[in-house]
Structure 1
Amino acid sequence: MMQSPHIIEFAKLGASEIGFISVIEQFKHIPFEVQRVFWTYYTPESIVRGRHAHHKTEQVLIAVSGRIIVNVEMPDGQVELYRLEDPHVGLYVPPNAWHTMQYSHSAVQLVFASNPYDESDYIREYDKFREIWKA
């Protein structure tokens, strides 16, 4: 059964007068074994990143700074829009989900991925994504 995109909340410890910390220990809140971690930053607001799906890779996206608008389309055509702007909140993106991201200038996105980078895992053409799932 295919999982749907969903929000994951991480612990938010502290108070506004002293600041906060969020912790992931042993990646217990991530629903897969983390094999790759990367981050994006200084992306101009006019740029839309992503524009792909993965055959196998699962991801959790976190806006550790700024705002990220994530548009996710599932193989059945269901489209959901997520606004990430709280650093203790992540978005689970399952395999075979077409996704795009648009960033505020100050946004820093942290990504936990279930697989190391492999170009053959990417579906980079939207028409190909739709063709794979039309059945």
Structure 2
Amino acid sequence: MPANPYLLSFHHVGSPDIGYITSTQLAENIPFTIKRVFWTQDTPPGVMRGQHANMATEEVLIAMSGSIKVLADTGHEVQEFELTHPQQGLYVPAMCWIELEFSEGAAALCLTSTDFSEKDYIRDYDYFKKLATHLAL
């Protein structure tokens, strides 16, 4: 059975008076070695991002500013998350379809287990469902 997405917390220090530093240094809860880091910004509200799954890539998604609504579908369970602060991330396992909706001014940081490869992406939801159903057997 494939893994499920879940929320995780990052170590942070500071105060409202001076601000905060958030780090993955103590993030032993990230279940993979980080190979790639990318960010998404200036997504207009109402635009749906993601709309894909990855065959092998695992991700941790973080809202650096604003908020991000995430629909995560493993093929056997659909969960909804809302990321609202940078001390929290969402672990997205391989073979998990995601759809992302950004608030105005939101920026997302993504940590991944692999380098980019278009061959890793599943961009057809019906095909994803067939694969996910087969993997669950």
The TM-score bracket by the shorter chain reads over 0.9
CA RMSD of aligned residues (A): 1.4
Are the structure 2 counterparts of residues 101 and 46 from structure 1 closer, same or farther at C-alpha, using a change threshold of 3 Å?
same
Q: 2:9 and 2:24 mapped to 1: Cα distance?
A: 11
Structure 2 CA distance for aligned equivalents of residues 74 and 29 of structure 1? 20
For residue 11 of structure 2, give the secondary structure of its aligned residue in structure 1.
Answer: coil
| 1:1-135 correspondence runs (5 A) | 2-25=2-25, 28-76=28-76, 78-135=77-134
Q: Is there any run of 5+ residues in structure 1 with no aligned partner, and where?
A: none
CA distance 1:71–1:62, change in 2 (3 Å) = same
Q: Normalising by the residue count of structure 1, what TM-score does the alignment of the two structures yield?
A: 0.93
| TM-score, structure 2 normalization | 0.92
Identity percentage over the alignment?
39
User: Does structure 1 conserve the Cα–Cα contact (< 8 Å) formed by 2:11 and 2:26?
Assistant: no
Q: How far off its partner does 1:92 sit? A: 0.1
CA deviation after TM superposition for structure 1 residue 8, in Å: 0.9
Specify the SS of the correspondent of 1:31. coil
The secondary structure found in structure 2 opposite 1:22 is: strand
Cα distance, 1:22 vs structure 2: 0.6
Could you tell me which amino acid in structure 2 is paired with residue 85 of structure 1? Answer: T
The CA distance in 2 between the partners of 1:26 and 1:35, in whole Å, is 17
Provide structure 2 residue ranges, at least 5 long, that are not aligned to the other structure: none
Looking at structure 2, the residues matched to 63 and 42 of structure 1 have their Cα atoms a distance apart, in angstroms, of: 13
User: Secondary structure of the residue that 1:81 maps to in structure 2?
Assistant: strand
Structure 1 runs (4+) deviating above 6 angstroms are none
- In the TM superposition, residue 25 of structure 1 has moved relative to its aligned partner by 1.9
Cα offset, 1:105, TM superposition: 1.7
- Give the aligned length: 134
